[in-house]
Structure 1
Amino acid sequence: MIHIGTYNHLRVKKSTAEGLVLTDGEQDVLLPKPQVPNDVQVGDDVFYYVYHHKDGRLVATSKRPYACTGDFAYLKVVDTTDNGAFLDLGIDKDLFISSKQRLPLEAGKSYVVYVYLDEQDGKLVATTWLDEHLDTDLQDLEEGEEVSLLITDISDLGYSAIINNRYPGLLYRDEVYENLQIGQSCTGYIKKIRQEDGKIDLSMRQVGFDFILESKDFILNMIKANGGVLDLGDKSDPAEIRYRLKMSKKSFKQAIGMLYKERLITLSDHELKLVHGDNKE
C-alpha cells in the first residue's frame, strides 16, 4: 500500500514519455521525467516521497519536502483564499490548510502546523490546532534525557515546545538565556515529568550533576581567559550572572563551590581568582 505524504519503497515498473512508472506491487506512481535520475533503470528499487497531484494522480518526487505526514513543521504561507491558505512544502505542490484555524493566516508569514491526511479524501493537509495531535502518554521519556525541540509559542511564562515531534513541553522564561523564536528547532533536556497533569518541564542545559561539571569547566576557562580574575562572585547580581554566563545564580554558586573545594580558585563577594594566579594549562 502506498503511503501518502511520506517516503515509500518502490520498484521501477516501466519508462514512459511522462517519466518513470513506479509501483509497490499494488498501485502505480509517476516520477515525472524532469526528476528521473540518469542511473535509474527498469527493475531498480527506489525510495521516493509520494503525494497527490492536482489532478488526483499519485506522483513521486526526488525533491526533499519540508515535512511528512505526522510531522510538526514551521511552514510559510505562499497564498491565501476565502477557504484557506497554501503552505510551501518544498515540492511542486503546495500544502492546503483550511481557514478554520486558531489564528488568522497571512501570506508571507510562517506558522507551526501539523501535517496529516484528511479522513474524507485522503489528501495531505495541515492545521495550526496542535494540541489534539500531541501525545500525553509520557512513558517513553526520562528525566535528564536529551531531546529535540520545536518552539511553537511564546508567553509570559515561557516557550512552548514540541518534544521529539510528539510531546508537549515548556521552557520557563527565567531559565532560558538566549532569544528563542517560534519555529526554531533546538536541543533541550527533560527537566521534570509531571505525571499528575501530563506536563513536561524542559531545560536548555543538561540537568543535574553533569551540568554542574560543565558549568565548572566553563567558569574556570573564563577566569583563565581573563588573566586569572573574573569580576563575579558570591554577591553578584543574578541578572548579571545570567547575562554574562548564561546560567542561573544557583548553578553559578554550585560550580564555583566545586572550584573552591578543589582549591582552584579563591572567592570573594564580587571576584573570583585562580589560586596562585596560575592561568596556564
Structure 2
Amino acid sequence: MLEIGKIHTLKIDRLTANGAYLIDTSLDKPVPVFMPRRYLTPSMRRGTNVQVFLYRDSEDRLTATTEIPRVMVGQLARLKVVQNTRIGAFLDWGLPKDLLLPFKEQRYPVHPGKSYLVAVYEDASGRLCATTYIEKYLQPDSPYHKHQIVNGTVYLVKNGVGVFVAVDNRYSGLIPATQQFRVYLPGEVIEARVINVRQDGKLDLSPTKDIPQQMNIDSERILKELQQNGGFLPLHDKSSPAEIKQTLNMSKKAFKRAVGRLMKNGKIKQTPHGLRYTETQN
C-alpha cells in the first residue's frame, strides 16, 4: 500500500512529455503515480527503480518527488514559517510546495521568519499538514540520566507548571516552574541539565549548571549587579524569592549559596538593608 508522506521505491512504468508514471510492482493492481519531468535524470528509463517521496500537489494529485523533505509523517522537526495566510501558516520543509500549518493546529501565534517544532500528519482529506500539538509524537524512554546536559526545543509554556521541552526534538522534558527564572518562547532552542528522570521516563530539567559551576555563574551575576548599582544591592536573607528572581533571575537557594561564597571570599558584606562591596572591592 502506498503511504503518503513516506519514502517508497517505485518502478517507472511509462514516460511522457511531462514526466513519468511510477508503479509499485508488489501490488496486484498498482495505481500509477505521477512524477514531474524536473525530477527525471538522463539515466532513468522505463523499468528503472526510483526512490521517491509521496505527497499531494497543489491540485491534490498524488505526486512523487526525488527530493526528500526534512520531516516525514509522524515525525518532528523545527521548521521555519514562510508566510501566514487566511487558511493558516506555511512552513519550509524542503519541498517546492510548502507545508500547511492550519489555524486549528496552532496552539500559539506563529510568525514569518521564526522556527517552531511541529509534527507532520495526514488530515482527513489525505493532505499532509503540520501541528504544534506534538505531545503524542514525543517518546518517554530517553537515554539520558541525572546530571547530563541536553539540548531541546521549547514547545509549550504553562503558567504555574513550567516550560515543556522536546529534548533532541524527540523526548519529553519539563523545566518546572520552580526552575524557570526567565521568559521562554515556543520554538526557542535551549540547553538544560537533567535533574530527575521520572518513572515514566520523562525528564525534569533545569537551565542551571551543576552546583559548583552555577555558584560561579551566580556569584559573578551578583558582583555585576553590584557594580551596576554603585556597590549596593537591596537584597538579603529576608528578601522574598520573587524579589530575588526578578532582580537576579535565580532562586533564593542559589542566591544564598552565592552570597555565602562571596562573603567567605571577602568580596561582599551583608547588611540589614542589602549587600555591599567590602571596602577592598570599592
- TM class by shorter-chain length? 0.5 to 0.7
CA drift at 1:97: 6.8
Superposition RMSD in Å: 3.8
- 3-state SS of 1:57 partner: strand
Tell me if structure 1 keeps the 8 A contact 2:150–2:194.
no
Tell me if structure 2 keeps the 8 A contact 1:52–1:58.
yes
CA drift at 1:273: 2.0
CA drift at 1:144: 3.9
Tell me if structure 2 keeps the 8 A contact 1:189–1:207.
no
For these two proteins, the number of residue pairs brought into alignment is: 232
In the TM superposition, 1:70-89 aligns within 5 A as 70-73=75-78, 78=85, 80=87, 87-89=89-91
- Structure 1 unmatched runs, 5+: 7-15, 30-49, 81-85
> Per-residue displacement from partner, 1:27-47 (whole Å, max 9, x unpaired)?
177xxxxxxxxxxxxxxxxxx
In the TM superposition, 1:1-281 aligns within 5 A as 19=38, 21-22=40-41, 26-27=49-50, 52=55, 54=57, 55-59=61-65, 68-69=71-72, 70-73=75-78, 78=85, 80=87, 87-90=89-92, 91-95=95-99, 104-105=104-105, 109-110=109-110, 113-115=118-120, 124-181=128-185, 183-279=186-282
> When the two structures are superposed, what TM-score results if normalisation uses the length of structure 1?
0.66
CA drift at 1:215: 0.5
Q: Please identify, of 253-262 and 50-59, the stretch whose mean Cα deviation from structure 2 is larger.
A: 50-59
Q: Please identify, of 246-255 and 161-170, the stretch whose mean Cα deviation from structure 2 is larger.
A: 161-170
Q: Distance in 1 between matches of 2:64 and 2:177?
A: 45
Counterpart code for 1:278: Q
- 3-state SS of 2:270 partner: strand
> When the two structures are superposed, what TM-score results if normalisation uses the length of structure 2?
0.65
Counterpart code for 2:50: Q
Q: Distance in 1 between matches of 2:180 and 2:86?
A: 35
- 3-state SS of 2:247 partner: helix
Tell me if structure 2 keeps the 8 A contact 1:161–1:170.
yes
**How has the CA–CA distance of structure 1 residues 168 and 266 changed in structure 2, closer, same or farther, with 3 Å as cutoff?**
same
**How has the CA–CA distance of structure 1 residues 185 and 216 changed in structure 2, closer, same or farther, with 3 Å as cutoff?**
same
Q: Distance in 2 between matches of 1:209 and 1:115?
A: 42
- Structure 2 unmatched runs, 5+: 8-16, 19-36, 111-115
Q: Distance in 2 between matches of 1:61 and 1:79?
A: 28
**How has the CA–CA distance of structure 1 residues 231 and 78 changed in structure 2, closer, same or farther, with 3 Å as cutoff?**
same
Partner of 2:26: none
Q: Please identify, of 260-269 and 241-250, the stretch whose mean Cα deviation from structure 2 is larger.
A: 260-269
Identity of matched residues, %? 25
